[in-house]
Amino acid sequence: MDSSKNQDRFQIELGVLLEPIEEAAKLYKVAVSQIGHHFGADGGAVILRNPVSGALQTLGWGNGGGWDEGTVSAFLDLQRPALQPNEIMAPIVIDGRAAGVVALRRRKGPFEPGAGRRLTRLCRKVAHEAALREERRVNRVIDQIKDKTVRELRPKDLFYQVLHGLRTLTRYDHSSALLIAEEDAARLVLHAEQIAWDKRKSDRIGRKIKVPQELRAHLRRSASIRWVSFAKAKKGGRGPAASGREDAPNETEAVARLLKWGGRGDEPSEGAILWAPLHHEGDLLGVLKIAARRPGALGAAEAGWVERVVRHVASVIHNARRALSMEERIIEAEKKHAMADLARAISHDVKNAIGAILPLAQQAREELQTGSAKPDVLIQDLAQIEQSAQVCQRIFDGMLQLARSETRPSGSAALPKVLDSTIAIIGTRMKRSGVALEMKVPDDLPEVPAGRGSLEQLFLNLLTNAIDSMPAGGRLKVAARVAGNRLEVRIADTGPGIPADQLKRIHEPFYTTKTEGFGLGLAICRSILWEIDGEMTIDSQPGRGTTVTVLLPLAPAQALARPAERGAPAAGGAPPAGGATSAGGAEPSRGAGE
């Protein structure tokens, strides 16, 4: 039997040997090998328990297999079951929980009396070294969360950065969610959810949870992280919920149950929920939820880690929402400014059209009254009156469609109709500016999962920019096609192009080369595309024009087969029947029956 002096010396030597090892698995393997040799064992193992799922992992040494699972589980639960004389075991306890068990076995003869106590002492050293690695891991993850969330992110991006970081931090295996409080905690609205048990997006985003009156005050005044474990349902009834805090009030469990929406269909139920109130300067911003599948998987250790980032998370969420509110107000002002410009341009077009109608109508009336009217001249005058009236009708129809679609709930929209209604508004302006339009947009393109008004606003901004770049006339090309799982739209002009120094800055808010405007036209476009997971790139060279490429997602259950094109560029005159190609600034027309 080793003397106490030899035991102390071996423990020091073990610590020196483990100190440079950073990887946890390697640390445990080296530890069990050294400890096994020290005790004269023939085999051994470190049996680790995943703190979240509870799954066991065996890191064997020598003849280190065949351990009784019930006995190992008992040691992991900090119990002391009876062992065979040729076996000894001791738990590795970190943060009050057994992270694993060191087990040793001899083929010949039992271990000396007191070997179990000495192994327990050595396991404390191993636990200490493992805890240092875990603390360093936690520090790295927390630094990463803080670093990523202080960047200029929109709230949606920010929320998912937070949830992704928390998954790395706590290793939860069910889900996490971020809910924003509204109306003084009267309800919680789900803004982001990350599902860990399956690779799919949440279909609950936007869900509103009504908070009972008796829980609202508890949510507002709660300052600490809470956790609750739900016992597995017993046969014939539902198992009681066990709180992770002995002093936790009933309200803690009630809030956890309010956030417990799993267990339906193929979705596993939450076995443990950790929730954290998000406060900023005394006001409740929302609630952070972390869920694991196994009861008891979340506890004091995870709460301590989350507590180190929750104030930072609340602060950056507050700042992001405030910045977004300011951006929305500025963008609204830019939209009003853009609509005012559009109204002035349209009023000019309508005035010109009416100006052509009135003298022709007056002249026709006089000729009919005096009997000097000539049928062939009258027919020409009426045709011109009809053409001018159609111009007014197209403009007003486009404006009415835009106004209606702004109030229409988001769904899916057909791109050809979106482009047609947009061009109906600016078609006369293109013609007046000498801009010829070429369109290659197939009729049977898959729909886009976005509100029609948002898409019309997007393309109205982009097409207006293109027209503005060609004050002396030019050619505007609009083409659309299916590209993989996206819809690609290209808008190309023959304007002067954008110098490299300006091209680098055009995505900056408030940057503009125009004499009027806030410089937020492209910011509005990016905002619309961000909401629907779209993308936009701009390619431009001085003297060679500018091409804007927009990538749009496809609506679910849409065919991805490459559709036939709607038509080819026309040299002039009216487009082919059923096509959407026009030249010389003429508006695209549709075939009969549309």
Residue 217: which CATH number? Answer: 3.30.450.40
CB 536 within 8 A of CB 521: no
Please tell me the predicted confidence (pLDDT) of residue 62: 84
Q: Are residues 297 and 439 in the same domain?
A: no
What element of type H or E holds 466?
helix 452-468
213 and 124, same domain (yes or no): no
Domain-ending residue, one of 293, 320, 347: 320
Examine residue 309 and state whether it is found in any structural domain, yes or no.
Answer: yes
Residue 306 sits in the same domain as residue 446: no
In the predicted model, is pLDDT for residue 231 greater than 60? Answer: yes
> With 50 as the cut, is the pLDDT of residue 560 above it?
no
How many residues are given for the chain?
594
Torsion-angle region of 555 (φ positive above 0: left; ψ -120 to 50: alpha; else: beta): beta
pLDDT for 514 equals 55
- Does residue 367 fall inside a structural domain? no
Residue at 66 is within a domain? yes
pLDDT (tens digit, 9 = 90+) per residue, 493-507? 999 888 887 777 665
Least confident of 16-30, 197-211, 492-506: 492-506
Co-location of 61 and 170 in the same domain:
no
Last residue of a domain, one of 284, 304, 320: 320
What was the pLDDT predicted at 385?
83
- Asked if 75 and 190 sit in the same domain, the reply is no
Pick the last residue of a domain from 82, 112, 138: 138
The predicted structure's pLDDT at residue 526:
78
Residues 110 and 237 placed together within one structural domain of the fold = no
Q: Let me know whether 549 and 517 are in one domain.
A: yes
Question: Taking 80 as the threshold, does the pLDDT of residue 547 lie above it?
Answer: yes
CATH code (residue 482): 3.30.565.10
What pLDDT shows up at residue 96?
Answer: 86
Overall domain count for the chain? 3
Q: What is the arithmetic mean of pLDDT over 225-234?
A: 78
Flag whether 182 is in a domain: yes
Question: Does 190 fall in a domain?
Answer: yes
pLDDT for res 37: 92
Please tell me whether residue 491 adopts helix, strand or coil conformation. Answer: strand
Pairing between β-strand 241-243 and β-strand 175-182 as defined by DSSP bridges: unpaired
Q: What is the pLDDT of residue 502?
A: 78
Q: Above 60 in pLDDT, residue 78?
A: yes
Are residue 506 and residue 565 in the same domain, yes or no?
Answer: yes
Element counts in the chain: helices (H) and strands (E):
13, 16
| 410-462 residue pLDDT tens | 578 889 988 887 887 777 778 878 999 999 999 889 999 888 877 887 888 88
Contact 474, 493 (CB under 8 A): yes
In a domain, 378, yes or no: no
Residue 132 and residue 159 share a domain: no
Instruction: Let me know if residue 227 belongs to a domain.
Output: yes
Is residue 537's pLDDT more than 60? yes
* pLDDT score recorded for residue 127: 94
Helix (H, G, I), strand (E, B) or coil at 576: coil
538 lies in the same domain as 582: yes
Residue 225: its pLDDT value, please? 93
| H-only helix segments in 469-520 | 500-503
- Give the max Cα distance, the chain: 134
pLDDT of residue 149: 77
Question: Does some domain include residue 381?
Answer: no
pLDDT tier at 239, thresholds 50, 70, 90: very low
pLDDT at residue 363 tops 80: yes
What's the CA gap between 188 and 203, in Å, rounded? Answer: 16
**Single-letter amino acid code for the residue at 591:** G
Nearest to 61 by CA among 87, 89, 36, 40: 36
Q: Which domain holds residue 45?
A: 4-138
**382-406: pLDDT as tens digits:** 887 887 787 677 667 656 655 554 4
Across 324-352, average pLDDT = 60
Are both 421 and 566 inside the same structural domain? yes
For residues 363-380, give the mean pLDDT.
84
Quick one: 236 and 264 in the same domain?
A: yes
Residue 58's pLDDT band (boundaries 50, 70, 90)? very high
Q: DSSP string covering 85-142, please?
A: TTEEEEEEEETTEEEEEEEEE-SSSPPPTTHHHHHHHHHHHHHHHHHHHHHHHHHHHH
Q: What's the whole-model pTM score?
A: 0.58
